[in-house]
Amino acid sequence: MGKFRPSENCIFAIPDVHGRADELQVILKRILPLRKNKNGQDKIVFLGDYIDRGSKSPEVIEILIDLKLQYADQVTLLLGNHDDLMLRACNYKEQWDDPRKDSAYSIWVRNGGDETILSYAKKSGSDITNIFGIPKDRNISFVDKHHLDFLSKNTQIYHETDSHIFIHGGMNYHIDLKDHTEETLLWDRSLFDFVLNTSPDVKLPWKKKIVCGHSYMGPVIRDKYIMLDASKAQKLMVCELNSMEIFYVGYGNSKMTKNI
């Protein structure tokens, strides 16, 4: 099968990878190398959630590091809520302001962070098989500091172009994007619920196309809303936004399939 390049200057959106390094490599083999010439360039926007749940979170981060080194201005990395939890749990971001919340570490390990810690521990040569009962400081010591530093310095909570808004989670379309809290952009699903409860015959009341992940029941495609996280169906999606062609790789598979 040939390269997946349906437009002259492709814009590829890739949602929640969740530790699926092998499936990500299948996609990248079809879209790399990214082209760059006097007429423009191909771009990839990753929508966040690179870690947790899958078994190869460290390998995913290594892939992203290599991509940024090779295509610095052609690859955009959004921060996902899982990535944010890991950074907070590992003391690369401040803890919650709200004392009523569980700690970021507690929330992280309950939502797939345990698998991420185990995958880092395995890479470091440790033979632990269960993180519970092991002190927090010991567990987070397994996580590669270079990876944490990379995520803290190379991710952003939104990306906006003349035609698109890229976010991980949700937003309130009544207010400016820059005025949103991180919590809304990373965690919110009210926009997703609004779209699902709005008839496809009704025009969505915002100007730019919103591209996001996070809500796992995708893909959900409307005229101005593109939610690509299909992790519930155990698929990793890639959408080329100029043509709106979508392919996916099923978890454990080695081929891309066109989404009909």
- The pLDDT tens digits of the residues spanning 165-192 come to 999 999 999 999 999 999 999 999 999 9
Pick from 25, 22, 31, 23: nearest CA to 1: 31
Residue 2 has pLDDT above 70, yes or no: yes
Please state the rounded mean pLDDT for residues 121-125: 94
Count of positions (residues) in the chain: 260
Please state the rounded mean pLDDT for residues 59-75: 98
Distance CA 86, CA 52 (A): 9
Both tokens of residue 41? Answer: 């360039």
Quote the pTM value: 0.96
Residue 7 has pLDDT above 80, yes or no: yes
Per-residue DSSP letter, 203: P
% of residues, the chain, pLDDT over 90: 93
Residue 1 has pLDDT above 70, yes or no: no
Both tokens of residue 88? Answer: 């907070």
In one-letter notation, the amino acid at residue 42 is: D
Distance CA 162, CA 168 (A): 18
Tell me what pLDDT residue 9 has. 96
Please state the rounded mean pLDDT for residues 51-58: 96
Please state the rounded mean pLDDT for residues 71-91: 97
List domains and CATH numbers for the chain.
Answer: 11-258 (3.60.21.10)
Distances (CA, A) of 173 to 11, 184, 200: 23, 12, 18
Distance CA 65, CA 55 (A): 18
Averaged pLDDT score across all residues of the chain: 95
Establish whether the linkage from the previous residue to 33 is cis, with ω within 30° of 0. yes
Tell me what pLDDT residue 39 has. 85
Residue with token string 């907070």: 88
% of residues, the chain, pLDDT over 70: 98
The count of C-alpha atoms lying within 13 angstroms of the C-alpha of 258, restricted to the half-sphere facing its C-beta, is 6
> What pLDDT band is residue 84 in, cutting at 50, 70 and 90?
very high
Both tokens of residue 36? Answer: 């760059």
Q: Dump the DSSP string for 80-113.
A: PHHHHHHHHHTTSSPPPS-TTSPPHHHHHIIIII
Top pLDDT among 102 and 15 is at: 15
Over residues 21-44, the pLDDT tens digits come to 999 999 999 999 999 988 899 999
Over residues 88-113, the pLDDT tens digits come to 999 999 877 666 678 999 999 999 99
